Chains A and B, each alone.
Chain A
Amino acid sequence: MKTMSLETRQNLIIGLRYALLILISAIFIFPIVFMVVSSLKPDIQLLRDSGSLRAFLPVGDISLNNYADAFERVPMVQFAFNSIFTTAVSVGASLWLNSMAAFSFAFLKWRGKAIVLSLIIATFIVPFEVVAIPMLLIANNLPWIGPNGIEIGWLNSYHVQIIPFIADSLGIFLFYQYFRDLPDELVEAARIDGASIFQIYARIIMPIAGPILATVAILKFLTMWNAYLWPLMTIRSEELRPIMVGLQYFFQLNTAWGEIMAYLSVVTIPVLIFYLALQRAFIESIATSGIKG
């Protein structure tokens, strides 16, 4: 009797746990379901269904028309290329630069290191919106070597969307936190074996930094993929615009809600793919950090 009761209790707890997990999952999944389902409906039906459970069901007048219309309204392929290009270069450069900076903070001895690290971490509290205008003015006066020689001003270019975002205080901090917890013996042993600083960085530390590389890559990817304000301020030509600015193309006098949902569904795919590809390392990084905390 006692065993049965315990079993029942355990089943109840498991059931409750699953119910809670399903509820939490639903909170995260329902907006995506709503987005995808709505992308298949004409505007009037989408708006009418939005107040009922029909909003989550592919019922009524279902078609892919919104996708066709969205592709017609916005040069989506060009925008997607721009975003993929700027994001890929930024993520790659960011992983390299920030990990090197963090390596320096974690393993090298130099004067003022603690102060510089504190200053970098202090920049966390400054929102991008605060520095956007000074950054715009600086970028507008920086030199660049273009097809016509040295030109002044970075506006309306790919590099203005990439270079200012490579160095990243959060990335440096996350790498530093991870490196700091690695055993010093790793570095000492490599030094005794005659490895140079770059060899230690490239051959000893980075190969075991997979989880933190994945974490920083995902965070950077999201920041760059969702870039909106900065491109809005610096990019004039449609040929250079990233994908998130394209979302604004649908807000006309009569907002094209179905097309917006179709556009968002397409825009979300690369984010999901990128996350799914790195999720194991990402979760490992969080779990590891938690244990070490």
Chain B
Amino acid sequence: MKKALSISILVIMLITFSGLASAQTELSLWYHGAGNETERSILLGIIDDFNASQSDYTVVLEEFPQESYNSSIVAAALAGDLPDIIDVDGPVMPGWAWAGYMVPLQLSEGALDGFLPGAIGEYNGEVYAVGLWDAAVSIYARRSVLEANMIRIPTLDDPWTGDEFDGILETLQATGEFEYALDLGMAWTGEWYPYAFSPFLQSFGGDMIDRSTYLTAEGVLNGDAGVAFGNWWQSLFERGLAPGTSQDGADRETGFIDGKYALQWNGNWAGIGALEAVGDDLLFLPAPDFGSGSTIGAASWQFGISSSSENKEGANAFIEFAIQDEYLAAFSDGIGLIPATAGAAEMSQHYSMGGALEVYFGLSEAQALVRPVTPGYATLALIFEKALADIANGADVQDTLDAAVDEIDQDIEDNMGYGFDM
């Protein structure tokens, strides 16, 4: 009798515990970093910590290569097979939100206090995604070169003016020591063009689209400021100050380090490699101010929640857990990107006071402007890239910008305003 009772209790306990175990809900997380062992180990660490910190959810990671990640998400959305948590590139987020792939986050009040603006994925007044880091662009220069040519070293508060910058390029080119005064990275086609070059346009006072309505590019891309930018842009190549669209990708990678280029427009992700090659002589300088302030691009990869998730509460809990300073700092130390908060920057190796890349946090904080927050961005970016390449290759500035505006406006009309009131 006793034996039977013991067995019964054991069976009940087993059933109870197995029930408890199965009560843990699985949350699927798709991530773009396959092939990056450092990112993977940091993310797995966060997941392990989260899984251990509570008993309701277990996050399971599926990794995808970055180059094809967006295609995988779109295919999964078509098949109705999206995971609970997705990561999304900043400028892509509005498109996915508009397409219904994502829902707004429901984080605790104050959870995003102190975050860099570029790390917060806001669309239509709601936060859809949050990034653990941001990226920034600056001018790479050698202190010795600037000093030898008596060129002032600009600061965040006192950047080079447009005219000053132009004169510096002429001066450096005239030394004859460099093939080109400035490497803009024309060999990096694709998203680099809108991300890296639209800030120049914005500094001139123009933009890729009218952000007050998101319904037209008329007057902002092809207005006076846009044309002034276009003329300056074209002159860089006409005067032989910068390599054009035929730039060799290998030169982009090594040209500045090898001394072919005096200055280089490049991102913080290349900073550590450049420092190793150039040493203390390397400077990261703020973008020039062409009249409407110095501007750089912002927004990198961020976490969001899919609309088909049946466990949105758990997904929100994971994202809120992941955005702790210690994890932001860990990612920054691991992959070199800018931590999303000042607290995390202070904890990080490269962005803390005196760190090799410290300047980038200030740049991101002061100059960052996210790319146009519209579902139409993907098309807008392609049109903008083509227009800039055409102008660099000698096309008429006004005609090219007018044609780009027509194409952008037509796309907006074809898509019934992309959700904005027409």
Contact = CB atoms under 8 A, between A and B. Distances in A.
B35 A47 contact: no
Contact of A245 (B65, B81, B250): B65
B71 A233 contact: yes
A43 B35 CA distance: 17
A70 to B, nearest CB: 10
Contacts of B254: 44, 47-48
A246 to B, nearest CB: 8
Nearest to B72: A232
Given A51-B250, A248-B35, A254 B270 contact: yes
Q: What DSSP secondary structure best describes chain B's contact surface?
A: helix
A10 to B, nearest CB: 45
A152 to B, nearest CB: 11
A4 to B, nearest CB: 51
Interface string B208-237: 000000000000000000000000000000
A236 B34 CA distance: 12
A73 B39 CA distance: 12
Nearest to A48: B254
B81 A251 contact: no
Interface residues of B, number: 31
Interface string A142-162: 000000000001010000000
Interface string A245-269: 1101111111000000000000000
Given A48-B250, A50-B250, A249 B270 contact: no
Contacts of A246: 65
B36 A252 contact: yes
Interface string A170-183: 00000000000000
Contacts of A237: 62
B78 interface: yes
Interface in B217-275: 248-250, 253-254, 257-258, 267, 269-270, 273
A140 interface: yes
B75 interface: yes
A252 B63 CA distance: 14
Contact of B63 (A140, A234, A238): A238
A253 B137 CA distance: 13
Contacts of B269: 253-254
B37 A73 contact: yes
A43 B67 CA distance: 20
A155 B249 CA distance: 38
Contacts of A44: 253-254, 257
Contacts of B273: 254
Nearest to A45: B254
Contacts of B253: 43-44, 47
B72 A238 contact: no
B12 interface: no
A137 interface: yes
B58 interface: no
Interface centre among A73, A229, A249, A250 (most CB of B within 10 A): A249
A51 B250 CA distance: 8
A121 interface: no
A236 B69 CA distance: 11
Nearest to B81: A155
A251 B66 contact: yes
Given A153-B79, A234-B75, A252-B66, 15 more contacts: A44-B253, A44-B254, A47-B249, A47-B250, A50-B250, A51-B248, A73-B37, A136-B75, A155-B81, A232-B71, A232-B75, A233-B72, A250-B35, A251-B67, A253-B335
Interface of A: 43-44, 47-48, 50-51, 72-74, 133, 136-137, 140, 153, 155, 229, 232-234, 236-238, 245-246, 248-254
Interface of B: 30, 34-37, 62-63, 65-68, 71-72, 75-76, 78-81, 248-250, 253-254, 257-258, 267, 269-270, 273, 335
Complex A-B, nearest 5 residue pairs according to Cβ-Cβ distance, in ascending order: A249-B35, A248-B65, A47-B250, A233-B75, A140-B79
